[in-house]
């Protein structure tokens, strides 16, 4: 026999079932709403904490005094003078103290020209100036006719594919200034002799170490200083000071490009790659005779 079919639910039973289904749906929706609220509140709380952490970090960084600069660069530059034996030596100075300000170089009024160069090691025009004038600058200094003050700054980091080559090269120069200062002029020349093109990644830290050692640096502390970026914060500070000005010893308010070349406070605006023109400017401004060189 076929069992009798279950009787169809009554209208009341259908209504009660619909109500139960609606109640369960409301409860499920309420649970979802509470979860979303908790997640939103939690996310907002985490976001607020993250913002607070960033603000605290920025405040700490702003409030933190700048670290000390490299030794022998109290003016933000290194001063090179004659060693009395037809050679070049660096003037020794204390470092700029943490949070301190540079001490401007007081040029002697003794008939000696004081030449100041603000330079960026990625700047091709700086490279052209050094290539044309390095020999006569060295001759001027070694003969006692001039002092040379070199200020490495960094304004072209954007042109090194994110490697910040200008800053790293300036840091390398600062490391040499601190630990092996009498080798600075040779390192300066080597950085331009192996200058990378703008728009490339530049030399690696390994290559910078190799370069300074090839230029005669022997102090082992220079290598770790370069690799650790020990003076990169100083490079940033010195660059800001040069770009904001004022520039000591001159009416020129600030550096607006590199190289900025000053002779006894007057800016050289002649041909960068013409050593004869630069020699004539030095003689005109300072009255010193520029020694003859193969380049000049």
DSSP per-residue codes, 222-281: HHHHHHTTTTHHHHHHHHHHHHH-PPTTSS--S--SS-EEEETTEEP-S-TT-HHHHHHH
168 vs 151: CA distance, rounded Å: 14
Q: Is the peptide bond before 95 cis (omega within 30 degrees of 0)?
A: no
Q: Give the pLDDT of residue 14.
A: 57
Backbone angles phi, psi at 261, to 5 degrees: -115, 125
Q: Give the pLDDT of residue 11.
A: 53
CA 182 to chain centroid: 23
Domain boundaries, the chain: 12-64, 78-286
Q: Give the pLDDT of residue 286.
A: 96
Structure tokens at 71: 């030794």
Q: Give the pLDDT of residue 80.
A: 98
CATH of domain 78-286: 3.40.30.10
- Cβ neighbours of residue 58 under 8 Å, at least 6 residues apart? none
Q: Give the pLDDT of residue 34.
A: 72
Q: Give the pLDDT of residue 87.
A: 96
Q: Give the pLDDT of residue 282.
A: 98
136 vs 158: CA distance, rounded Å: 32
Residue with tokens 């990378």: 196
CA 108 to chain centroid: 31
* Residues of the chain below pLDDT 70: 1-23, 25-26, 28-30, 33, 36, 38-66, 294-296
Q: Give the pLDDT of residue 269.
A: 97
Q: Give the pLDDT of residue 26.
A: 66
pLDDT tens-place string over residues 19-70: 666 567 667 666 776 776 765 665 554 454 444 443 333 333 344 445 789 9
Q: Give the pLDDT of residue 141.
A: 97
Asked if 163 and 201 count as a contact pair (C-beta separation under 8 A), the reply is: yes
Q: Is the peptide bond before 37 cis (omega within 30 degrees of 0)?
A: no
Q: Give the pLDDT of residue 107.
A: 84
């Amino acid at each position: 026999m076929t069992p009798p079919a279950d009787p169809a639910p009554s209208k009341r039973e259908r209504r009660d079932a619909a109500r139960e289904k609606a109640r369960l749906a409301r409860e499920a929706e309420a649970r979802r709403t509470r979860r979303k609220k908790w997640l939103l509140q939690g996310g907002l709380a985490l976001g607020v904490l993250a913002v607070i952490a960033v603000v605290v970090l920025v405040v700490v960084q702003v409030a933190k005094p700048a670290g000390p600069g490299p030794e022998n660069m109290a003016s933000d530059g290194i001063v090179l003078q004659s060693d009395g034996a037809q050679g070049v030596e660096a003037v020794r100075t204390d470092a700029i103290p943490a949070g301190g300000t540079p001490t401007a170089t007081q040029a002697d009024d003794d008939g000696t020209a004081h030449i100041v160069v603000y330079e960026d090691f990625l700047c091709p025009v700086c490279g052209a100036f050094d290539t044309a004038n390095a020999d006569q600058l060295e001759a001027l200094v070694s003969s006692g006719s001039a002092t040379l003050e070199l200020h490495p700054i960094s304004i072209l980091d954007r042109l090194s594919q994110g490697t910040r080559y200008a800053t790293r090269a300036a840091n390398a120069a600062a490391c040499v200034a601190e630990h092996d200062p009498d080798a600075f002029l040779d390192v300066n020349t080597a950085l331009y002799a192996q200058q990378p093109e703008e728009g490339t990644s530049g030399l690696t830290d390994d290559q910078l170490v190799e370069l300074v050692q090839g230029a005669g640096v022997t102090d082992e502390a220079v290598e770790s200083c370069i690799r650790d970026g020990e003076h990169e914060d100083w490079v940033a500070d010195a660059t800001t000071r040069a770009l904001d000005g004022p520039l000591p010893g001159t009416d020129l308010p600030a550096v607006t490009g590199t190289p900025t070349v000053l002779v006894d406070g007057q800016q050289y605006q002649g041909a960068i790659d013409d050593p004869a023109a630069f020699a004539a400017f030095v003689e005109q401004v300072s009255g010193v005779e520029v020694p003859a060189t193969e380049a000049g």
